[in-house]
Amino acid sequence: MLITEIVILLTLIGLNGLLAMSELAVVSSRRSRLKSMVEQGIHGARRALALASDPGRFLSTVQIGITLVGIVAGAFSGATLGTRLGEVLSGQGWPKHVAEFFGIGVVISAITYLSLIAGELVPKRIALRHPEAVACLVAPSMTYLAKACTPVVWLLDVSSRTLLRLFGVRATREGEVTQEEIRTLVAEAESAGVIEPEERAMIAGVMRLGDRPVRALMTPRPDVDLIDLADGLDEVKRRIVASGHSRLPVCDGSPDNVIGVVQAKDLLNAFLQGGAVKPRDHVRAAPIVPDTMDALDVIDMLKESPVHIGLVHDEYGHFEGVVTSADILEAIAGEFRTEEGAAEMMMVRRKDGSYLVSGAMPADELAERLNLTLPDERDFHTVAGLILWLFGRLPAAGDTVDYKGWRFEVVDLDGRRIDKIVASRQPSRHRIAA
């Protein structure tokens, strides 16, 4: 009889552990992973996905089971094993009331310890190690339990939803994933050695690319090497040789009248073949890109263009710069070494802990490196634009401004363009946030 009672009690503890493991496994499972397992035909994956898609109903089912098991185990341990141990102690000469109190106390303490270890902690750790696999394993039995408890589950689910509404808590959209969650997941994958640091940097670049307009990627007009058809052939050749680029925009009399692109190899072939060379005959059409177009849309446009270069114009039709497939790649993978030498580092950490930052560095990359929060609605895309926004004017070399715990000092100007700044931790306690 005693052995039977102990077996029943251990079974109840095991059942509690199964319910606790099921609850944590289903809640912790990634739906994307469960969907992949469904496509692979893994047994139980479809039911696990269904349970995860309706967490309120599932949690109500589990809570019913855990509560019933806890009540039965508590009553059983005190009423049977506790009383039995008290009788044994009373037979050993203990006072009856002391023996009963001590017996029930010892049994309840032992059951509580076993319930915590075997009925909670160990099953939950197993669930956390392999959430999707455990969810697929327990999903069929949990589905049957939910069906059996449908009336009670419905009542609990409706009651909990009503109480949440009274507290002003709204349910989140199903499957909602934020960019911060993706970044956190990628960071955890890097820490675990699943992906390399370079892969994480490229993933971050792709995510930033989706939020950028083409103005944040283009080579601005002052840095573009233009060929003017109004110039003589010797001047055109000189510009091509001095530029070093294989594709150059072509204007006709005015930098605002850009008519296309010429490829250096086309002119080289014409010179090698002999005869008169007319640069106008080798001008190729290039797509016109509005400066507000999303960078991802520009990729599709450049794919369809044989010259892989776009001419960026503003809403008034003024030429603003060029964007190439190399600009897209650099936005994802970082700067590349050029024929003239090593690419300029956009951000360099100095010995004193401060950073020397190029004004051309994308503002969102700086924000990510320094853990800054930029305004959602902003009309700047570079660090130079950020500094202008903070000052509200064109600063002079040596001017400083504080923002979000960082001090930015303008150290170099190229005419009216902010070329270099130094970012350092703000030394004063009284920080001025723009």
pLDDT in tens, 332-349: 877 765 544 444 578 888
Whether residue 341 lies inside any domain: the answer is no
Residue 3, H or E segment: helix 2-28
Query: Based on the structure, what is the number of domains in the chain?
Result: 4
Residues 222, 225, 226, CA angle at the centre, nearest 5°?
100
135-155 pLDDT tens trace: 888 888 888 887 887 787 778
Nearest CA among 161, 94, 114 for reference residue 11: 114
Which residues have C-beta within 8 Å of that of residue 241, sequence separation ≥ 6?
none
> Residue written as tokens 């009553």?
75
One domain, residues 125 and 221:
no
One domain, residues 91 and 192:
no
One domain, residues 38 and 118:
yes
The residue among 192, 209, 226 that closes a domain is 209
Could you tell me the pLDDT band of residue 409, with boundaries at 50, 70 and 90? very high
Supply the pLDDT for residue 336: 65
Whether residue 371 lies inside any domain: the answer is yes
One domain, residues 26 and 140:
yes
- For 422, left (φ over 0), alpha (ψ -120 to 50), or beta? beta
Distance, in Å, from the CA atom of 355 to the CA atom of 423, rounded to the nearest integer, reads 5
Please give the structure tokens belonging to residue 63: 């809570």
Check the CA dihedral 246-247-249-253 and report its sign: positive
pTM of the model: 0.57
Is 306 within 8 Å of 283 (Cβ atoms)? Answer: no
265-274 pLDDT tens trace: 888 888 888 7
SS3 227: strand
Whether residue 430 lies inside any domain: the answer is no
One domain, residues 128 and 28:
yes
Whether residue 381 lies inside any domain: the answer is yes
Supply the pLDDT for residue 312: 92
One domain, residues 129 and 105:
yes
Most confident listed range (21-30, 73-82, 399-408): 399-408
The residues pairing with 220 across neighbouring beta strands, listed in sequence order, are 321
Is 256 within 8 Å of 268 (Cβ atoms)? Answer: no
Whether residue 400 lies inside any domain: the answer is yes
Mean pLDDT across 110-121: 81
Mean pLDDT across 156-167: 79
The residue among 287, 307, 333 that closes a domain is 333
Mean predicted lDDT score pLDDT of the chain:
81
One domain, residues 193 and 59:
no
One domain, residues 190 and 288:
no
Domain that holds residue 110: 2-166
One domain, residues 127 and 248:
no
Could you tell me the pLDDT band of residue 430, with boundaries at 50, 70 and 90? very low
One domain, residues 198 and 218:
no
Whether residue 174 lies inside any domain: the answer is no
